[in-house]
């Protein structure tokens, strides 16, 4: 039966959900305080990273982390002013890295990735979006035999989950896929089924146009709190209030503040990430390049080059430290000797992250007509189409394509 639904958040997750619900005949309004793709969804690396099934919270991570933290501009940092605040989240992150929980997270992530891959193809077809898609695969690069050998158990695990890959064992083999890399990269894993968008902002705007064409509305408003009102839900906004049958909270790194107004406490933190986007002609990037040991990636965006990554556990309020973007660009220039580094635009975004690397998808334990869909961390673009289908099925009250148990709100 058609329902009156409000989605809070016009990032790629909220817009994907709204478009899927509108396609299924519901009356849907999206509320966002800033507009479409105005936050994290605008500047990410543009990867549908279906092969990234390994959670960040992995066994041994807490042994490696202190070494990374010693370098204030290294791949992982915690600004001293935020160290105390992040401590409870870090404790949960550490618990999630234990072998039993890690294995359960890999299984849940893989199930969500399989659905994400299929759901993206349905989304591309439904919105006629192929012109915004690049199907060039991804190279994970390694420096030397030892680093490559360490990566092999991860590749075997991916293989067990049906991920296609090819291992490359010389700079010459790598150059056949991506010429111009420094020969220090001696080994690589290539995942041919990895997909990128030409521009994550343009992709979200494209989905928003499809949503509006299907009868949806996008309104500018800041939601302050959510109140259950019998069978309906009331949203108290900065400029008034509105009621509806169901609410979907897809407000990215800010979602836990809204959940809190209903009484749900969710351990959502932000992993701030940085990048620089260089103009067209900066380098001939032929596939998505992942420099895992250095915590950054290089992707082709609108014919230009985006160099970005890093994890800064610094919350939502501290000012950005763009030196982090500069350090990544300097490294990229060393690894891609022909890279032209002038004319870049720097950016920082807030990844919405849950300690076990899995998102929250499902009904609020406090109000069945409030559905949560956030916390996708490094993978919000990748998992947006699948999240939309899962939310559609929750709204319909039927069964979902995969069990929602691993993503439930009250798993902590």
- Rounded to the nearest whole angstrom, what is the least distance from the CB of residue 219 to ligand FAD in the complex? 10
Q: Does residue 31 touch ligand FAD according to CB under 6 A?
A: yes
Rounded Cα gap, residues 38 and 106, in angstroms: 31
Using the rule CB under 6 A, which residue among 189, 252, 295, 355 binds ligand FAD? Answer: 252
The 10 Å CB-count burial string (b at 16+, else e) for 39-57 is: bbbbbbbbbbbbbbbbbbb
Quick note: the x/- pattern for ligand FAD over 165-204, rule CB under 6 A, is: ----------------------------------------
- Rounded to the nearest whole angstrom, what is the least distance from the CB of residue 307 to ligand FAD in the complex? 10
Quick note: the x/- pattern for ligand FAD over 287-326, rule CB under 6 A, is: ---------------------x------------------
- Rounded to the nearest whole angstrom, what is the least distance from the CB of residue 209 to ligand FAD in the complex? 16
Using the rule CB under 6 A, which residue among 20, 22, 30, 46 binds ligand FAD? Answer: 46
Residue (175 or 302) nearer to ligand FAD, CB: 302
Q: Does residue 223 touch ligand FAD according to CB under 6 A?
A: yes
Is there a contact between 32 and 238 (Cβ–Cβ < 8 Å)? no
**Which segment (38-46, 126-134, 138-146, 226-234) binds ligand FAD by CB under 6 A?**
38-46
Bridge partners, residue 22, by sequence = none
Using the rule CB under 6 A, which residue among 19, 250, 298, 402 binds ligand FAD? Answer: 250
Residue (97 or 197) nearer to ligand FAD, CB: 197
Q: Shortest CA distance to 188 belongs to which of 56, 277, 287, 301? A: 287
Residue (114 or 148) nearer to ligand FAD, CB: 114
Query: Count of residues binding ligand FAD (CB under 6 A)?
Result: 42
Residues 326-365 that bind ligand FAD (CB under 6 A): 349, 351-352
Quick note: the x/- pattern for ligand FAD over 362-391, rule CB under 6 A, is: ------------x-xxxxxxx---------
Start-to-end CA distance of the chain, whole Å, equals 33
Nearest 5°: the CA angle 105, 44, 294 is 70
Q: Shortest CA distance to 275 belongs to which of 55, 43, 80, 15? A: 43
Residue (31 or 168) nearer to ligand FAD, CB: 31
Rounded Cα gap, residues 212 and 22, in angstroms: 9
Residue (146 or 236) nearer to ligand FAD, CB: 236
Using the rule CB under 6 A, which residue among 7, 21, 132, 251 binds ligand FAD? Answer: 251
Is there a contact between 246 and 397 (Cβ–Cβ < 8 Å)? no
- Rounded to the nearest whole angstrom, what is the least distance from the CB of residue 290 to ligand FAD in the complex? 10
Q: Does residue 38 touch ligand FAD according to CB under 6 A?
A: yes
Using the rule CB under 6 A, which residue among 2, 25, 34, 145 binds ligand FAD? Answer: 34
Using the rule CB under 6 A, which residue among 5, 21, 49, 112 binds ligand FAD? Answer: 49
Give the binding site for ligand FAD (CB under 6 A): 8-14, 31-34, 38-41, 44-47, 49, 222-223, 250-254, 258, 273, 275, 308, 349, 351-352, 374, 376-382
């Amino acid at each position: 039966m058609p329902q009156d639904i409000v989605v809070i958040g016009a990032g790629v997750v909220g817009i994907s959900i709204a478009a899927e619900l509108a396609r299924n005949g519901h009356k849907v309004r999206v509320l966002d305080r800033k507009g479409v793709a105005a936050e994290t969804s605008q500047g990410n690396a543009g990867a549908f990273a279906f092969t990234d099934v390994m959670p960040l919270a992995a066994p041994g991570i807490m042994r490696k982390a202190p070494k990374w933290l010693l370098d204030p501009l290294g791949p992982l940092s915690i600004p001293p002013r935020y160290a105390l605040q992040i401590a409870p989240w870090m404790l949960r992150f550490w618990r999630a890295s234990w072998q039993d929980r890690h294995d359960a997270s890999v299984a849940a992530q893989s199930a969500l990735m399989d659905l994400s891959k299929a759901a993206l193809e349905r989304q591309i077809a439904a919105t006629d979006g192929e012109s915004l898609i690049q199907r060039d695969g991804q190279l994970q690069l390694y420096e030397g035999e030892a680093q490559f050998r360490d990566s092999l158990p991860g590749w075997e695990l991916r293989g067990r989950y049906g991920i296609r890959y090819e291992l490359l064992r010389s700079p010459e083999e790598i150059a056949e896929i991506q010429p111009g890399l420094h020969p220090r990269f001696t080994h690589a894993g290539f995942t041919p089924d990895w997909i990128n968008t030409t521009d994550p902002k343009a992709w979200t705007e494209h989905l928003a146009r499809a949503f509006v064409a299907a009868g949806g509305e996008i309104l500018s408003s800041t939601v302050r709190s959510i109140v259950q009102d019998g069978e309906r839900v009331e949203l108290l906004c900065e400029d008034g209030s509105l009621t509806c049958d169901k609410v979907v909270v897809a407000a990215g790194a800010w979602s836990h503040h809204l959940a809190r107004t209903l009484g749900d406490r969710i351990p959502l933190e932000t992993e701030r990430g940085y990048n620089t986007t260089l103009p067209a002609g900066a380098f001939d990037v032929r596939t998505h390049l992942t420099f895992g040991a250095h915590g950054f990636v290089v992707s082709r965006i609108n014919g230009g080059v985006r160099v970005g990554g890093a994890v800064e556990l610094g919350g939502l309020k501290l000012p950005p430290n763009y030196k982090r973007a500069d350090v990544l660009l300097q490294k990229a220039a060393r690894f891609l000797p022909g890279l032209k580094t002038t004319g870049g635009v720097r950016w920082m975004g807030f990844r919405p992250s849950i300690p076990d690397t899995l998102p929250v998808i499902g009904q609020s334990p406090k109000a069945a007509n409030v559905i949560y869909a956030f916390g996708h961390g490094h993978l919000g673009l990748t998992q947006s189409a699948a999240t939309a289908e899962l939310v559609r099925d929750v709204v319909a009250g039927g069964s979902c394509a995969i069990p929602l148990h691993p993503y439930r709100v009250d798993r902590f």
